[in-house]
Structure 1
């Protein structure tokens, strides 16, 4: 039997079963006596074991078999689930996921899982689980801690390291060993971090900061730092801290990381499910089987959907051309035929876009497990609420939005929600609340991450922004609360502060902002000190076909996305005035600066200066600008085409489209024109 043709299906179904294991194990933690949940977990494990054995991935099958034995003991009521047992089973699921990812990346799925197998055997025999020494301390041999800390990096941390390389900064791993007679290890760690924060940005430490503060380590710890200073200078500064035995500095690159760990990104979405109902491939218990509709769904490779979308985009361009020819010739039969073609292609467009739409649950479903683990690591009590997981987004947007959401959620848990003791002192429940909500509104999807934690301290943000030269003292006086909160999204707001807490927010959020804006979206922040914060993300439903307002500047045509437009207006020159060396207008009680597209894009025009300005009012969050154009053409649906790698950095231009007359119109990026 040729197994390669089944590999794609095996990978996708394995990921579904692993996600099911994670979801049901978290449900089991809340209700350990629910045997229906145990049966669901057992069924997923059993199916995964059978598929793995059939495909020849023996390590995967063996580990699943060991986990299945433990679940069988629970199912037969010979074993009672407790948090320690659940931790081991969840660790086993993590190992299974790592094996599947390795297979998806072209590997053979082999992995050293003897440690977790021993723990599962101990649970099955009702023995005491002994933690491995490797989980308690950093390996002292060269490279041991390197692998540990690098394998713990998430995609956002890797992105920060990549950006530092692009800026010609150095990525360094600094291994520090304390003397054996060191009495106050936590104090020495604090002093080391204080030195490192002054020379660059701390990306990560191993063990974690909480373990270092509580002295839950031996004598060794490691820190990843981004800096511009030389290694010799760094070593001299760190060695000045008393009771330091040795300092080893190891330069590394992002390529080194990628060689040591598979990156768990949304590349795993290479195959998507076109419909929501899937027939179960195996049923362990007939009594627990559910009625399913057979042969109603198929799996389609996303490359085929991309090819279909590209062909349809060409059809949209030709449709626009035919509409223009029809309007010019005014032939009744041609007009009727084109109108019918427009209706049919509109329906076809709706079907194709719906085929590409996938529930945001594909991103949300990994967060409950992440929140549980982070809460345990940080000693916090957090309840996660998820609403709107069935909200759908274009697959290309889904691919990109996962990492920003991970970063915002981790940020809220780590810095937003307080420790239980601190919450009780403030009169709050010990358990913090983290809400994740998604919903449609018009042609956009909104995702909100809210918490009832400490909120953002306005004054601390301003002080930090001034010290980092993000704003001046004069600018700070005129900022509203909303504008102050937006400062935490600015590049450079937190360049050397990872461990200490300024406002509860800020590390690396400029990366989040850049990613969201690259998708044509924006992010806004609301906060109340002591009550909590809300980060709201606005995203377009799809990235390929967009509604625009066509305008004319000189002899050139430009397209402005309707999602950024408030309204259009005709303004007399007498209604404009100058403020702070800028031309502005009074728009509904607000001062709005004007931007001349003729000057921005250096367009020559033979038209004489008119007493009236045609203005397009655009908005980005609470900021607005008015774009001065020569003429409004009208609204149209266009296909967004990339300008390619050579023209990727053109100011204020996000792409181009081909109009019905064959002319190329540049698509304006409104966010770039609002300051």
Structure 2
């Protein structure tokens, strides 16, 4: 099993991709049931998933995907009609497969009961017709595989470009228990060095080990015959290998796969071209006559362990720190000789910094791609018609931000479907289209990414919010419409009268704001009654290297993320007033709660030359009172560990150019609980 273990991580990565592809394509198929291309793609994904599971020895997955494949084949042949109900059954199977994969990933191996799913799949198909299809799909017996005209042209083109073409026969040992696994390992090794054009037996039988002891391939590569033989013989339980070179002279009359005299014919000639394999291996190989003119070379991308990427980021961060240190020392020493090489070091460091940040970037579709399926299921559960429109899914964010973005977006999307979009009857009564619309949009704006979640539903009623606030003891009589709407971010605040399994438990929006704030971002909400609601989230591109405002609080130095700062004003005597037992600052006729940072951190203030830093958190303004300003600086965020890591007042720490360690303030937590009496 050692050889199989090597491919465990690869199995999980590819399985995740195939499951996501199946989800996406099933959603598309439900909308366009007459598209044979989508059905073919779904069938190929399920078929590949089945083969991978069988190869790894995951029998429950293989059994379930095999039954799915039978139904999908009936979809493809038109013998079973694609409906919302049939698609729902397939979705149930995908959910179970995802559950199994997560258990396998965590090395948890429970016994699964999939009888009900298998029964539902069987109920979709006519058993007699399914049995007949199974018989018809059995490969015909034959002695050799003839290369098609298309494949012959591909081989000719490959030979012209300096490739070698080999007819290969592989015999496994007599008592081999995992013939499919051995075939899979051979195929994987060869595909890393070239292209497999044809297999005998066919794809399905090869993956499932449905052959006696011998399987054959036609292989295009620039490797020598000896190297190819060595690669195959290094796979466990391979008894014998026969390799014949295919020459140009053999092709005009259709080259026949030769059979080595010492390697017995297995009798399972499927006469299937392995373009099915090529389709299922991410288009690595030649699939058509057009591809004959462009033989693919080695892959241009690699998978990198995330810990290595983090180490790379940490090393670049250290370079940024010491570059700043060198620049400070050079300025103090006033040495002109070091200026030119230091400028080069600064340029290279900046280029490295840009490069590592780009490498860390990840498209938001990693999060967005879960929502089409989620909205589809919610619309059925709520008996509503909902159309989801997604734009800008290619927009990129730091992978750290992307990984934390899922939870708040899921809550916003579920709220939009449950509270936002009305029932069909309500929408018709209001003169709206029966089908509601939820929009999810992302785009880059300067050094930030903006994500908008909007719906065309009932909207937020300010008066309903006011009534709910008064009942909870929150002074709301003097609040305007926008101020009332912002109250939904208060802890435990909800206007929903009915608790459902989707939302309405009085929790959630405060958690959304806290999560967005912890990512250095902000969230605002705009709403019109009977027109809809829009949430606007703004996030920094990266959380690793940021621009910060350095400040003094007492004798200590702290850093504030620049992205949330709107303005800095001098605090003159009398500027800070008392209101509702809290200190406030009036700015442009707006009452802003003031947070004395020294009191929050337990530091004695100098109370001279103080400044108020106006920040925007969750659609609210706050004023942070600090003793002095130092200036703007690019800083590297370092995570805090131990007891410091549990202190909510700090996002992390950074090392300044002089070597001092400075803490970075978590503004969202510092402002938490402030201003709830009047905003």
Q: TM-score, normalised by structure 2?
A: 0.70
* Kept in 2: contact 1:416–1:505 (CA 8 A): no
Distance 2:522 2:588 in 1: 23
Match of 1:486 in 2: 486
1:415–1:507 CA distance, 2 compared to 1 (3 A)? farther
Match of 2:378 in 1: 374
* Kept in 1: contact 2:564–2:616 (CA 8 A): yes
Match of 2:134 in 1: none
Distance 1:78 1:284 in 2: 32
Query: 1:581 Cα deviation (Å)?
Result: 6.4
Distance 2:289 2:20 in 1: 23
Query: 1:507 Cα deviation (Å)?
Result: 4.1
Alignment counterpart, residue 396 of structure 2, candidates 381, 392, 407: 392
Match of 1:422 in 2: 426
1:646 aligns with 2:648: no
* Kept in 2: contact 1:468–1:494 (CA 8 A): no
1:505–1:528 CA distance, 2 compared to 1 (3 A)? farther
Q: How do residues 112-123 of structure 1 correspond to structure 2 at under 5 angstroms?
A: 112-123=113-124
1:514 aligns with 2:514: yes
Distance 1:106 1:336 in 2: 56
SS in 2 for 1:530: coil
Query: 1:81 Cα deviation (Å)?
Result: 1.2
Query: 1:374 Cα deviation (Å)?
Result: 1.0
Query: 1:22 Cα deviation (Å)?
Result: 0.7
SS in 1 for 2:73: helix
Distance 1:457 1:62 in 2: 52
Provide Cα deviations, 1:333-389, integer angstroms capped at 9, x if missing partner.
222222221211111111111111111101111111111111111111000000111
Distance 2:550 2:13 in 1: 43
SS in 2 for 1:619: strand
Match of 1:360 in 2: 364
Match of 1:634 in 2: 631
Aligned length: 520
1:127–1:638 CA distance, 2 compared to 1 (3 A)? farther
1:280 aligns with 2:282: yes
Match of 1:302 in 2: 306
1:567–1:338 CA distance, 2 compared to 1 (3 A)? farther
SS in 2 for 1:333: coil
* Kept in 1: contact 2:387–2:436 (CA 8 A): yes
Match of 1:467 in 2: 471
SS in 2 for 1:573: coil
Bigger CA drift: 365-374 or 65-74?
Answer: 65-74
What RMSD in Å do the two structures reach over aligned CA positions? 3.1
Provide Cα deviations, 1:494-536, integer angstroms capped at 9, x if missing partner.
49965279x9895432222222222222222111111111122
Q: How do residues 571-586 of structure 1 correspond to structure 2 at under 5 angstroms?
A: 572-573=572-573, 586=586
Q: How do residues 599-638 of structure 1 correspond to structure 2 at under 5 angstroms?
A: 599-604=599-604, 610=608, 612-638=609-635
Alignment counterpart, residue 412 of structure 2, candidates 404, 408, 411: 408
Provide Cα deviations, 1:66-87, integer angstroms capped at 9, x if missing partner.
2112222222233321222211
Provide Cα deviations, 1:177-203, integer angstroms capped at 9, x if missing partner.
xxxxxxxxxxxxxxxxxxxxxxxxxxx
* Kept in 2: contact 1:456–1:505 (CA 8 A): no
1:6 aligns with 2:7: yes
Alignment counterpart, residue 662 of structure 1, candidates 655, 659, 668: 659
SS in 1 for 2:491: coil
Distance 2:332 2:630 in 1: 16
Distance 1:324 1:411 in 2: 51
Match of 2:545 in 1: 545
* Kept in 2: contact 1:57–1:108 (CA 8 A): no
1:568 aligns with 2:571: no
- The unaligned stretches of length 5 or more in structure 2 are 130-279, 675-679
Distance 2:465 2:585 in 1: 31
Distance 1:406 1:582 in 2: 35
1:122–1:596 CA distance, 2 compared to 1 (3 A)? closer
Match of 2:154 in 1: none
Match of 1:434 in 2: 438
Query: 1:119 Cα deviation (Å)?
Result: 2.1
1:383–1:38 CA distance, 2 compared to 1 (3 A)? same
Match of 1:451 in 2: 455
* Kept in 2: contact 1:279–1:294 (CA 8 A): no
* Kept in 2: contact 1:592–1:625 (CA 8 A): yes
Q: TM-score, normalised by structure 1?
A: 0.71
* Kept in 2: contact 1:38–1:75 (CA 8 A): yes
Bigger CA drift: 70-79 or 544-553?
Answer: 70-79
